[in-house]
Amino acid sequence: MQAVVLGSGTSMGVPVLGCTCPVCRSDDPRDRRTRVGGLVEGADGRRILIDTPPELRLQLLSAEVDAIDAVLYTHDHADHVHGIDDLRAIWRRNGALPLYGPADTLERISHRFDYIFDPAVVAPQGTSKPNLEPRPLEAGREVEIAGMRVLPIALSHGAMTVFGYRFGPFAYLTDAKTVPDEAIAALRGVRVLVLNALFDRPHPTHLSISEAIDVARTVEAEQTFLTHLTHQFSHKELAARLPEGVAPAYDGLRVTF
């Protein structure tokens, strides 16, 4: 199994448009953070994409990904969804590409991008649209997707519920404000955890840096990588202040099991 952090940035990405702070002007490639997304590849080579951020095309090109077998959505906020049209260009091995996620998330995506999901909308000759099939998931109910066992985990993102996902020894959680006891129990035994962290100060819908560290300590994964990062901290600066076993993620980070 291999996991890839395709994008590690918050909703505005880094550099932020119009910003001239040291992080936005940094020449460290780890400080260039596209919108958050991930990929998991099984032992048989099949791949599951996590979210479709706006830079999806560039992320897949950079990761040299030419085919995926399924998409998991955490939720339907723009920075996690608005690269969905790029799925029309990615190769799918057999038929429609299945989209998995919370039922309400898939419903809102289908409404927002009705040209994709409405069978009455036919792409004009010489054009195309993504061939996608929504498949709702239930939190706490493990399913097999692309040959991998996937456990959806419910998390609070302010007033809404988002899904994190566990793939055996690996778990991917983003846009969480809290990680409830049920989620902690579901994460026990993971070796690598990817977890969102935003500012030093508290935020109404995201874990802060210190809150994410507390979650990492409670889960006790061998390694936790923080994602959904802003331009307030450079990679080097944040890495220097994090405790052992916790590190900043960066675009293109690969972890192999």
Tell me: the pLDDT tens digits for 25-71? 999 999 999 999 999 999 999 999 999 999 999 999 999 999 999 99
3-class SS of residue 81: helix
Residue type, 57: R
Q: Where are the domains of the chain?
A: 2-254
In tens, the pLDDT along 74-107 reads 999 999 999 999 999 886 666 899 999 999 999 9
**pLDDT in the model for residue 38:** 98
Beta bridge partners of 221: none
Higher pLDDT, 149 or 124: 149
At residue 126, the pLDDT reads 87
CATH of domain 2-254: 3.60.15.10
Question: What is the number of H-type helices and E-type strands within the chain?
Answer: 7, 14
Res 93: pLDDT:
63
Do the beta carbons of residue 7 and residue 36 sit within 8 Å? yes
| Average pLDDT, integer, range 107-121 | 95
User: Is the pLDDT reported for residue 201 higher than 90?
Assistant: yes
For residues 153 and 74, what is the distance between their CA atoms, to the nearest angstrom?
10
- What does the pLDDT read at residue 90? 85
Q: Verify cis geometry, omega within 30 degrees of 0, for the bond prior to 169.
A: no
